[in-house]
Amino acid sequence: MIKFPKNIAPNRHLSWSKIELSQLYHLSPLNHQILCFKAQFDANDPSIRESLLPKLSEVNRGNVLLLKKIQDQNRSIISRILLELILKQFGCNMNQLETNEYGKPFLNHHAFQFNLSHSGDIVLLAISTHHPIGVDIEKIEIVEDFDSFIPILHSSELTYFQAIKREKNYFELMKLWTHKEAISKALGLGFQLDINKIALNQNNGMMKIDTIPSMFPQEWSLHTLNPSDNYVGAVAAPFPECEICTYTIEISQLN
């Protein structure tokens, strides 16, 4: 098992409070806040598909069944149902969803912004008001080819990366990757964004943006997430000093 470092950074979120769907009415993210919800489950469990697939619309059921692996089907089902339930609690619905020209979904004519990510047995959903956000999660696994990550690197990150490679530090590698992905998702540009133009650095374990092209926002909040053992995630938002609140929703509430 891959272990997390003992020196936990101050912006690494370890505490995930359990919350009931009925309690969401009492949550109202302020302009400087992000709410992040986690659903953890067994992606190999066929009963998830059997019990929750019928709850999806016909179109969404068809999209799920296009996926060949049960793990991918379950992650897609949980993602869609979690999004629908959370949006409903905040007065939105799936009919308001549209996608931008690069494929990022958003709520038309609504202040709420959201982003989804999943890996392994976890789905994350982040919500904010007014400001675009990006969230990413990865299960930490052994990486054989570190050099395959070089294309995502800014030239100023090479020294940091070489230390990661030398130490075979999979945690730091995935932390770098998830933060870059979260920034990319917040910008909503998909594959049109060259993330090697963005440079990150760490100060006391906290990830910061050192360099980003001038056409993008220059002030960001980055948060490292520890959703569970052997997972690392990140939330990115183009406004400074935002707070993040992290919650767990039991999948039994999705039935």
List the one residue out of 123, 149, 132, 154 whose CA is nearest residue 227.
123
Q: Is residue 150 part of a domain?
A: yes
Q: Is residue 127 part of a domain?
A: yes
Is residue 178 within 8 Å of 232, Cβ to Cβ?
A: yes
In total, how many domains does the chain have? Answer: 1
Q: Is residue 151 part of a domain?
A: yes
Q: For residues 112 and 164, give the distance between their C-alpha atoms in angstroms, rounded to a whole number.
A: 37
Whole-model pTM: value is 0.90
**Domain containing residue 172: CATH number:** 3.90.470.20
> Which long-range contacts does 101-105 make (Cβ < 8 Å, 24+ apart)?
102/188, 102/189, 102/190, 102/191, 102/192, 103/190, 104/185, 104/188, 104/190
Structure tokens at 245: 């609140």
What's CA 3's distance to the chain center, in Å? 21
Structural domain range at position 207: 12-254
Q: Is residue 1 part of a domain?
A: no
Q: Positive or negative, the Cα torsion across 206, 15, 168, 148?
A: negative
Q: Is residue 2 part of a domain?
A: no
Q: Is residue 38 part of a domain?
A: yes
Q: Is residue 28 part of a domain?
A: yes
Q: For residues 139 and 2, give the distance between their C-alpha atoms in angstroms, rounded to a whole number.
A: 10
pLDDT in tens, the chain (255 residues): 444 444 334 344 568 999 998 888 777 766 788 999 999 999 999 999 999 999 988 888 998 999 999 999 999 999 999 988 888 887 777 777 777 776 777 776 667 888 999 999 999 999 988 788 999 999 999 999 999 999 999 999 999 999 999 999 999 999 999 999 999 999 988 777 899 999 999 887 789 999 999 999 999 999 999 999 999 999 999 988 888 999 999 999 888
Q: For residues 218 and 10, give the distance between their C-alpha atoms in angstroms, rounded to a whole number.
A: 22
Is residue 72 within 8 Å of 119, Cβ to Cβ?
A: no
Q: Are strands 12-13 and 221-225 parallel, antiparallel or unpaired?
A: parallel
Is residue 236 within 8 Å of 183, Cβ to Cβ?
A: yes
Is residue 103 within 8 Å of 184, Cβ to Cβ?
A: no
Q: Is residue 7 part of a domain?
A: no
